Structure 1
Amino acid sequence: MNNVSYADQKIGSREMVIIIANAVIGVGILTFPRSIADETDAFDGWISVLIAGAAACLIGWLLGRLASRFPNHTFFEYVALIAGRPFAYLLTLLFGVYSTLLASFEIRAVGNIAKQYLFTTTPVEMITLAFLLIVQYAAAGSRIALLRLNLLFLPIVLLVIFMVQVYTLRFLEWENVRPFFSSDWMSLLKGAKGVGLSLSGSEIVLFYTVLMRRPQDAPKSVIAGLAIPILLYMTIYMLVIGVFSPAVAKNLTYPTIELAKGVEVPGGFIERVESLFFTIWIMTIFNTCTIWFDLALSTLRSMFTRLSKFAWILILSPIVYLIAMTPQNLIQFFAFGDRLSYFGAVIAYVIPVLLLAIAKLRGVKDSG
């Protein structure tokens, strides 16, 4: 009788692909068409998505190379091998702060959007708290079980999004997508910068490679995992512009939600597709948020081993909630997201790439 492959507390390359895809598909999928339409002309924003996606794949591949170079060590341990323990403590702590901020951002996004479209009379504080409690409960269990939830949810998410895209094709107006290639390169690069936060997530490979059966496959898994949201973002942007026009897309807070609201399934099989879309989107945010909450816990536990996981959950949860409730309106909320993307670019991308260069120059590799 064969052993159950899921009983070894390890994840495979396919699971890493899906985990990265789920980590990337988050709040940004609802707002990114607006930020691109602000900078580019007509239909050309898909080029910005492609540029941002190529940059994300390159950086993600480098992060995968760094993590696969030390397959038997945690992030804190291999940073200590490369740059010394004091720097490892500092960088791991900053990663913990970054993960905590991202979890807060995602949780508040659920509160904002659920209040606007679903629970109009419920205070956003209560919606946010309820979602945090669910994330807290999930993070308290097994890390492997938490990661494997992605295998269950992602196919459903992709299926519903594909259905939304198919049924919006009939609303396309070709006048909205012309003229082609009218944006200059500077505008396209500014649009690519606007997709930055939406494509963040590949940095989780730095922490989860140690759980892989074949850590050497981490770089390829990152590329494959990023390919899914990049393709998804390109098609969603094209449809948003084709249906609403660039001028309208610039003034929609959540263009992707408005796209789903216009869907009508023939025969009345589903009367309100946006309700189904909200359901699967909340499943996606749940996965994304639990990943960041888990990373915040794991980074802190790797440095301060005396406290248990449950103790760290009790410490972190009120901090996450207070940060989530700090923005007083949507302007402050989106400004918080922009600042977070710049902070993450340095902590999650620039410094780890420099660490990879130092490890190669000094010949530092996994010793055990």
Structure 2
Amino acid sequence: MGIFNYADEEIGQREITMTVASMIIGLGVLTLPRLVASETMSSDGWISILVAGGIALFFGWIVSKLCGRFKRMTFYEYTSLIVTKPVAYVLTLLQAVYFLMFCAYEMRAVASISKQYLFDRTPIEVIALTFLLVVIVAVSGSRVGIIRLCVLFLPIVLFFVIVMLAFSVELFEWENLKPMFITDGKHIYSGARQVIYSMLGYEIVMFYSILMRKPKESTKAIIIGISIPILLYLIIFIIAIGIFTREGTINIMYPAIEIAKEIEIPGQFFERFESVLFIIWIMTLYNTSSIVMDVSVHCLTSAIKKLDKRTCLLILSPIIFLISMFPKDQVEYVYLGTIISIMGIAFAAIIPTSLLIVAAIRGVQSSD
């Protein structure tokens, strides 16, 4: 089967905005309320979300300024101009490893939660392999095609989340939010640290800016793309606390799913709304997994010129599957997530900032 290519292999600000938002809205939607509530007091976790959101916006701006200096260049190409080619080669390969592990982590999340809520008799390996094969189908096609999947799916995801939140208002109790502003700075910081891991994803713009008609428009795209998850996380957290209280939220593994279980839609249109939410959430993780796998392939094929896309997919696919199956229990899975999060901080904040500083000092940029 031949690889389909779009006639228009360019994307604009709207596509990047939706891609960034889709990338960030992933597993964090389900687990964030519990993680933030465990670090903060009462309902003060919203402060941590705003702090982490502000940090993500700042480093997202850094990424956009870096991408804006280089038009129609891959990450490897413009990094080679900023630093030496050997350094650029190493950085690109490390990025490939990071996104490969990210894909494996997301795939394991889909498999584990699908088994828990939908396919309790199906082996987790079968669920993971099926999901991986579907992701490979998306990645084997056009890169712009993956972007347009995000444009297609994100409005659907946001619509159903808004419906869920709207019908949960009647269960909301304002008293559960009190008292307010009782968390000290140390615990606000601890909560923000949990949130910042869920805000990673905007760094993909460094690899998709080559497809943009006007890379300098990436600033507005990233800012809006990050702001959407910030607002969504804020609302979901506050509603979770308002319905379950802080203590209840801490003891619920996936508060967002439990919110969906609690709501009742008139007319019995959806008897189990959590199933609808779960399907919508899988769409989001499908977008995320497709993007990170595509970026990993892109990094390898741009750094290793003799490596073509199909060969790269054949090599990476079993590696991703094996990594996803490596954690034997929830403890090992969380440990894998911690490793990926630490790597993500380096690749989303430290490396882009360093590259931008060096590029500014040396006056390196592409000629328009």
TM-score normalised by length of structure 2: 0.97
Distance 1:172 1:344 in 2: 35
Distance 1:52 1:269 in 2: 37
Given residue 307 of structure 2, which amino acid in structure 1 is its aligned partner? Answer: L
CA drift at 1:72? 2.2
The residue number in structure 2 matching 1:243 is: 243
CA drift at 1:330? 1.3
1:211 and 2:211 correspond: yes
1:162-196 alpha-carbon deviations (Å, 9 max, x no partner)? 01101111111223111011111111111000012
Structure 1 stretch displaced more, 300-309 or 157-166: 300-309
SS for the counterpart of 1:8 is: coil
CA contact (8 A) 1:107 1:131 kept: yes
CA drift at 1:348? 2.8
The residue number in structure 1 matching 2:175 is: 175
CA drift at 1:216? 0.8
Distance 2:181 2:267 in 1: 39
CA drift at 1:331? 1.7
How many residue pairs get aligned? The number is 363
SS for the counterpart of 1:264 is: coil
1:312 and 2:312 correspond: yes
Given residue 265 of structure 1, which amino acid in structure 2 is its aligned partner? Answer: I
CA contact (8 A) 1:95 1:348 kept: no
CA drift at 1:347? 2.5
Distance 1:255 1:333 in 2: 19
CA drift at 1:344? 1.3
Instruction: Kindly report which structure 2 residues correspond to 1:69-148, keeping only aligned pairs within 5 A, or say none.
Output: 69-148=69-148
Gaps of 5+ in 1: 1-5
Given residue 107 of structure 1, which amino acid in structure 2 is its aligned partner? Answer: M
SS for the counterpart of 2:156 is: helix
The residue number in structure 2 matching 1:366 is: 366
The residue number in structure 2 matching 1:288 is: 288
Moved runs in structure 1, 4+ residues, more than 4 A?
A: none
SS for the counterpart of 2:168 is: helix
Distance 2:194 2:72 in 1: 36
Given residue 300 of structure 1, which amino acid in structure 2 is its aligned partner? Answer: L
Cα RMSD of the aligned pairs, angstroms, is 1.0
The residue number in structure 1 matching 2:7 is: 7
1:185 and 2:212 correspond: no
The residue number in structure 1 matching 2:343 is: 343
SS for the counterpart of 2:257 is: helix
Given residue 330 of structure 1, which amino acid in structure 2 is its aligned partner? Answer: Q
SS for the counterpart of 1:245 is: helix
The residue number in structure 2 matching 1:163 is: 163
The residue number in structure 2 matching 1:352 is: 352
Given residue 318 of structure 1, which amino acid in structure 2 is its aligned partner? Answer: P
Structure 1 stretch displaced more, 102-111 or 251-260: 251-260
Distance 1:153 1:146 in 2: 11
CA contact (8 A) 2:167 2:265 kept: yes
Distance 1:343 1:286 in 2: 22
Distance 2:112 2:39 in 1: 25
The residue number in structure 2 matching 1:264 is: 264
CA drift at 1:274? 0.6
SS for the counterpart of 2:7 is: helix
SS for the counterpart of 1:179 is: coil
Instruction: Kindly report which structure 2 residues correspond to 1:18-33, keeping only aligned pairs within 5 A, or say none.
Output: 18-33=18-33
The residue number in structure 2 matching 1:3 is: none
The residue number in structure 1 matching 2:60 is: 60
CA drift at 1:8? 2.3
CA drift at 1:119? 0.6
CA contact (8 A) 1:69 1:366 kept: yes
CA drift at 1:160? 0.2
CA drift at 1:219? 1.3
TM-score normalised by length of structure 1: 0.97
